[in-house]
C-alpha cells in the first residue's frame, strides 16, 4: 500500500521503518530534521503533511501532543487539505492526546470524506523497534479491520476498544497505571536503600513474588543503575497525566494518586529532569529523602 507517516521522533522513526521493511511505499514528513535511518531507507520524504496525505491511502500520525495533532491535520498545508474528492483515505493517529479532542478531530475528518482511527501505543522505544507495541484503538469496526494488517507490522497486542476517543481513553488509563507503578517501585527501593538493604538484591527478591511487575523489572533496574536515558520522557508522561486530571475534572472524578504522581513528575521537571526517562520520577522522592536509591 501507499502509506504516510508524520512524526519521526523516538517512537515514530522505528514504527515508520517497520512499515517500510514490510514492503510498503511510505511517504514521510517530520517537523524537524529527518533521521538518518529514514534517509537511508526507501521512505519518500515530503515537505508537508498535505503532500504526505495526497500520496497515501492511509496516513499515520505520531506526534507529541493534542495541539501538534490539530496542526498536522488542520493547519496550513495539513492533512485535511488533501482529503475528499477521490478514494476514501484513513487517518490513524497513534499519538497520545485528549480523548475529547480526538472525538472532535474524527468528526471533522469524517465530514471531509475520510475515516479516522485513534490508535495510541504503549511499549516505549523498545516496543517500537521490536514491533511489539500494545495498540489501543477507537473507531468503526470496518475501518479498524482495514488497517489492522498495518498495525500488526508495528505491534502485537492490538485491541479495538470502542468508538473514536476510546483508544485515547484507554491510553490515559494505561499511563495512570504506569505512573503509579513507577512511584510505588521508587518508594519501595528508596525505603529499602535508606534502611540499609541492597536495593538490587531487594529488587531481585521482589521479582519472584506478588509485587513482581514489568515496571519493577525494567524501571527498577534503571533506578538502581542510574540509567535514565529517555525511552519515554518525563515531560511526555506529565502531559498524559495532565490529560487524566483534565478528564477527571470534566467527569467529576477524584484521582488523588494520579495527582500525586503528577506532582512528583512536576518536581522532577522543576529540577531540570523533564527530558529524562520517566523512571527518573524516583529523583523527586530522593530529593525529599535526601538519599539516593543507589550511587552512579
Summarised one tens digit per residue, pLDDT across range 62-100 is 999 999 999 999 999 999 999 987 889 999 999 999 999
- Active-site pick, 89, 171, 235, 239: 171
Residue 93: strand, helix, or coil = strand
Whether pLDDT at 175 is above 90: yes
User: Between the CA of residue 13 and those of 18, 29, 92, 162, 290, what are the distances in Å?
Assistant: 9, 11, 16, 28, 39
Q: Model's pTM, two decimal places?
A: 0.91
CA distance 93 to 63: 9
Find, among 230, 35, 34, 231, the residue nearest to 125 by Cα: 231
- Alpha helices, DSSP H, located in the chain: 12-21, 36-39, 49-55, 66-74, 99-111, 124-130, 141-151, 166-194, 199-206, 214-225, 234-251, 256-270, 282-289
Find the largest Cα–Cα distance for the chain.
69
Cell of 202: 531487594
- How large is the average pLDDT for residues 235-252? 94
Question: Is 171 an active-site residue?
Answer: yes
Amino acid at each position: 500500500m501507499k502509506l504516510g507517516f508524520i512524526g519521526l521522533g523516538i517512537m515514530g522513526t522505528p514504527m515508520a521503518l517497520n512499515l517500510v521493511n514490510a514492503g510498503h511505499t511510505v511517504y514521510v514528513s517530520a517537523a524537524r530534521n529527518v533521521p538518518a535511518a529514514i534517509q537511508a531507507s526507501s521512505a519518500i520524504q515530503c515537505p508537508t503533511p498535505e503532500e504526505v496525505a495526497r500520496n497515501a491511502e492511509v496516513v499515520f500520525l505520531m506526534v507529541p501532543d493534542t495541539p501538534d495533532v490539530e496542526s498536522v491535520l488542520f493547519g496550513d498545508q495539513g492533512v485535511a487539505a488533501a482529503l475528499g474528492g477521490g478514494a476514501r483515505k484513513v487517518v490513524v493517529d497513534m499519538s497520545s492526546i485528549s480523548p475529547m479532542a480526538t472525538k472532535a478531530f474524527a468528526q471533522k475528518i469524517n465530514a471531509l470524506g475520510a475515516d479516522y482511527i485513534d490508535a495510541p501505543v504503549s511499549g516505549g522505544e523498545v516496543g517500537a523497534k521490536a514491533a511489539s507495541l500494545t495498540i489501543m484503538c477507537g473507531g468503526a469496526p470496518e475501518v479498524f479491520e482495514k488497517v489492522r494488517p498495518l498495525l500488526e507490522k508495528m505491534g502485537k497486542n492490538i485491541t479495538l476498544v470502542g468508538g473514536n476517543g476510546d483508544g485515547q481513553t484507554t491510553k490515559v488509563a494505561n499511563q495512570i497505571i504506569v505512573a503509579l507503578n513507577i512511584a510505588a517501585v521508587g518508594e519501595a527501593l528508596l525505603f529499602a536503600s535508606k534502611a540499609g538493604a541492597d536495593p538490587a538484591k531487594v529488587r531481585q527478591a521482589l521479582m519472584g513474588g506478588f509485587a513482581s511487575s514489568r515496571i519493577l523489572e525494567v524501571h527498577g533496574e534503571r533506578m538502581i543503575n542510574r540509567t535514565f536515558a529517555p525511552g519515554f520522557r518525563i515531560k511526555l508522561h506529565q502531559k498524559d497525566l495532565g490529560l487524566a486530571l483534565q478528564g477527571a475534572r470534566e467527569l467529576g472524578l477524584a484521582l488523588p494518586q494520579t495527582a500525586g504522581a503528577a506532582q512528583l513528575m512536576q518536581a522532577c521537571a522543576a529540577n531540570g529532569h523533564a527530558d529524562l526517562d520517566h523512571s527518573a520520577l524516583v529523583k523527586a522522592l530522593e530529593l525529599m529523602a535526601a538519599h539516593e536509591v543507589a550511587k552512579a
